[in-house]
Structure 1
Amino acid sequence: MTTTKTLPMALDVEKCVVASLMLYPDQLEYARATLKPESFYSGDYQEAFSAMVEMREQGIDIDLQTLSLQLKKRNKINEPEIFVAECTDTSTTKYLDGHIKMLLDYSSKRNTIGLLRSSLNKLYTDDFEFTEILPELSSIIDSIENQSITGNDTVPRQGRILTVGKISDRLDDYYKSGLKFSGVSTGWKSITQHYRPAKGTLNIITGIPGHGKSEFFDALSVNISLEHDWKWSIFSPENFPVEFHVQKLSEKIIGKPMFNSNSKMNEHEFHAALSWIDEHYGFIDLHEDNCTLEAVLNLVKGSGVDGLLIDPWNELEVRLRQGETETDFIGRQLTKLRRFARKQNIAVFVIAHPAKMHKNTDTGKYEPPTPYQIAGSAHWANKADNILTVHRDFESDKNEVDICIYKVKFKVHGSVGKVKLCYDKVTGRYSEDENW
């Protein structure tokens, strides 16, 4: 079968999107989280979009002149100065949502035609009966629906209605091997009884500054990786430079300090720790001009890691949309994080500081902050799957630390409660006291 019809395209819409990004490059983070170069029909617009994404990743400021120079270096567009001038000599918009939706709609039509074309061609031959083609068409429809749910950017995100019949295989698997959905051990029996981290969840760790939120997460991640071989992407300005963070992880792995002790780890132990960390951890180093959640997620997406840490939340830039409050922004970002965790099937951890705390008037001590006391928004309590507070008793001879499990959304992952651990300041390890 041949056709004289061109594929669906909207070059005027594509031109508007590209021109708007050239003139208002602050919109690029939103666009790159939604579009891919293949979303464009025009090869020139694909190239221009790719060039701007590359410039942003390299920390190069985007203006018309620098973009023209970048396109000239890439040498894929004829006369890039004229191309940029013609692009920007058109109507543009600061608010791309509607135009991006139209662009994706056309892209989705082209994608669907590509999926169906080979099957439909078979109907023009005598080699196939109609009933033989039905399973193939059904498979294509399922593929389109699945791509929509998993966030393929060239398919309209319409979603679908699931029935028990459609997911019967998944339900059988859940019934027969439900334990694999229950999360993993934390390495501390007392905590695992209440909280089992699981892929596809959004986990928040809070606590008063200096009480050991980052230390606890590091110990938790080491335990999980030692027992379950999880791989991690770590965005932790709290622990930069990376040398400091690697030292802390090494001491937890080996159980010895790196410096200033007669019992410090030897060179063999040091290199063994480095090798293990290299296998299980990657450290995200964002450019200071692009310290956004979108930049983090773009680096992690498709990387195959099991977990992601953002520590702390307030190191990420706040980029409010027109009329948006900080509360609305946090809610939108947490929704994005939760969806990302589910689509990528990874466990996302965020360390968030509480708002200003006040001492208990009776005891003169700070109480453990609750989910609704996390700074910025009540959305922390509402959007997260699991929330833990790390609260340290500095007057305890045992360096006791309370791990308060304030929220566990799914009972298969545990239940609320409070557990005590002992913190070893020398190695950074946490242990359980059998006498408790």
Structure 2
Amino acid sequence: MELSKVPPHNLEAEQAVLGALMLDPQRASSVFEILQPEDFYRDSYKTLFLAIRDIFERGDPVDLVTVAEELNRAGRLENVGGIAVISELASVVPSAVNAEHYARIVAEKSLLRQLIRMAGYIEEKGYEAEEEAVALLEEAERLILEISQKKTRDGFVSIRTILLKTFDKIEYLYANKGNLTGVPTHFKELDRITSGLQPSDLVIIAARPSMGKTAFVLNIAQNAAVKSNIPVAFFSLEMSKEQLVQRMLCSEAMVDQQRVRTGELLDSDWPKLTQAVGPLAEAPIYIDDTVGISLAELRSKARRLKMERGLGLIIIDYLQLMTVGKRTESRQQEVAQISRGLKGVARELAVPVVALSKLNRG
């Protein structure tokens, strides 16, 4: 009979964190940035950590007596083993100076347990086979992303550090005055105002139906890829990739789309179309026309494209056709969640994201 595996944990590190907090409360702020009560493997240590944090947040002194009193008042002192266990924790700390190091060990084990739980959940769902495989894959990506975001949250950075980077950027801009700092759209006035589409920006282009939104962003995509060789990811949720490329080809060749759609081409159109194929074929434009693509799937595809071929710009046509991959209270809430998610994609991948949005008539 195979024994069940014990989840990753380090009780010695957990004990050292708790003991260090009681011996040297000045370490508390940095430890609380790293750990949450649920990061502890042993339930009694979760209770102790929460009590210490509550005392600290009230501004009261943290020591053996105050922690024991806090737990006794909540009726939980015996749950953690009594005052003898609390005293023992304080005595086994190798060094309170290393509190942050101990906390990171505890956080690392907690992260591994979260991944194991997530994998078990996905395995169970897979065996149940109640969802489509693609939907389950999106759920797995979403769960991994949630764990990753918890792990990589940035803390405070001193203004001195930021000022040094800012001054370096100003010096670079001065030395390269007149050059664009972002992705060029090759619309002269727009580039003058924006200095190009800036990395990490989310740009929403909103208008009523049939106002030329798609034509505009297609021109931006072509200009960035053909003229500046910048890789562009184009997520087309409304038009098929074949329709999209046909419009690009007509635009590049400067041939009337209506004549192409009806087949009533002029003899002079053929050389233009043939000549336009070459530059478009070499342009780093990558099109995905997945209907109702979810935020998680878009993020995953964009991240993979950046790793494999490079990525300088993301375009989405259009916002309201995306999904979040889970139920929300209203469509308005879902669109707001998608917008926040797209801003996260822009920041994570350090590229501008341009999303079209359709306004209602009236």
TM-score, normalised with respect to structure 1? 0.47
- In the TM superposition, what are the counterparts of 1:16-415 in structure 2 within 5 Å? 16-19=120-123, 21-22=125-126, 23=128, 25=131, 28-35=137-144, 104=147, 153=148, 156-178=151-173, 182-195=181-194, 196-240=196-240, 242-257=241-256, 259=260, 260-266=265-271, 268-276=274-282, 279-286=283-290, 291-303=293-305, 304-317=310-323, 319-321=325-327, 324-357=329-362
Q: Which protein is bigger by CA-based radius of gyration?
A: 2
CA distance 1:329–1:27, shift in 2 (3 Å) = farther
Runs of at least 4 residues of structure 1 off by over 4 A?
23-28, 179-182
Structure 2 CA distance, aligned partners of 1:270 and 1:215? 17
Considering fraction of residues, name the structure with more helix: 2
Is the Cα contact below 8 Å between 1:256 and 1:264 reproduced in 2?
yes
Partner SS, residue 193 of structure 1:
helix
Cα shift readout 1:253-278 (whole Å, capped 9, x = no counterpart):
233457412321426414314423xx
Matched to 2:301, the amino acid is L
Cα shift readout 1:317-360 (whole Å, capped 9, x = no counterpart):
364546x3323222222111101101101111111110232xxx
RMSD, matched Cα: 3.2
Structure 1 CA distance, aligned partners of 2:340 and 2:120? 28
Deviation at 1:186, TM superposition (A): 2.7
Is the Cα contact below 8 Å between 2:138 and 2:325 reproduced in 1?
no
Pick which of 5-14 and 153-162 moved more.
5-14
Partner SS, residue 194 of structure 1:
helix
Is the Cα contact below 8 Å between 1:184 and 1:197 reproduced in 2?
yes
Structure 2 CA distance, aligned partners of 1:194 and 1:154? 34
CA distance 1:182–1:15, shift in 2 (3 Å) = closer
CA distance 1:321–1:333, shift in 2 (3 Å) = same
Is the Cα contact below 8 Å between 1:256 and 1:265 reproduced in 2?
no
CA distance 1:270–1:301, shift in 2 (3 Å) = same
Is the Cα contact below 8 Å between 1:230 and 1:280 reproduced in 2?
yes
Structure 2 CA distance, aligned partners of 1:13 and 1:224? 43
Structure 1 CA distance, aligned partners of 2:119 and 2:142? 19
Query: What count of residue pairs does the alignment treat as equivalent?
Result: 233
Cα shift readout 1:218-272 (whole Å, capped 9, x = no counterpart):
11222233443211111113331x2222122122223345741232142641431
Deviation at 1:32, TM superposition (A): 0.9
Partner SS, residue 352 of structure 1:
strand
Cα shift readout 1:2-23 (whole Å, capped 9, x = no counterpart):
xxx9763538735653355435
Structure 2 CA distance, aligned partners of 1:161 and 1:175? 23
Deviation at 1:30, TM superposition (A): 4.1
Is the Cα contact below 8 Å between 1:305 and 1:346 reproduced in 2?
yes
Partner SS, residue 356 of structure 2:
strand
What residue in structure 1 maps to residue 35 of structure 2? none
Percentage of identical aligned residues: 16
Is the Cα contact below 8 Å between 1:231 and 1:280 reproduced in 2?
yes
TM-score, normalised with respect to structure 2? 0.55
CA distance 1:293–1:217, shift in 2 (3 Å) = same
Is the Cα contact below 8 Å between 1:254 and 1:265 reproduced in 2?
no
* Uncovered stretches (5+) of structure 1, i.e. residues with no partner: 37-99, 105-152, 358-436
The answer as to 2:113 corresponding to 1:10 is: yes
What residue in structure 2 maps to residue 402 of structure 1? none
Is the Cα contact below 8 Å between 2:208 and 2:361 reproduced in 1?
no
CA distance 1:185–1:35, shift in 2 (3 Å) = closer
Structure 1 CA distance, aligned partners of 2:156 and 2:206? 36
CA distance 1:155–1:249, shift in 2 (3 Å) = same
Partner SS, residue 10 of structure 1:
helix
Matched to 2:191, the amino acid is T
Structure 2 CA distance, aligned partners of 1:302 and 1:28? 15
Partner SS, residue 345 of structure 2:
helix
Matched to 2:287, the amino acid is F
Is the Cα contact below 8 Å between 1:320 and 1:326 reproduced in 2?
no
Matched to 1:204, the amino acid is I
Matched to 1:317, the amino acid is T
Matched to 1:330, the amino acid is V
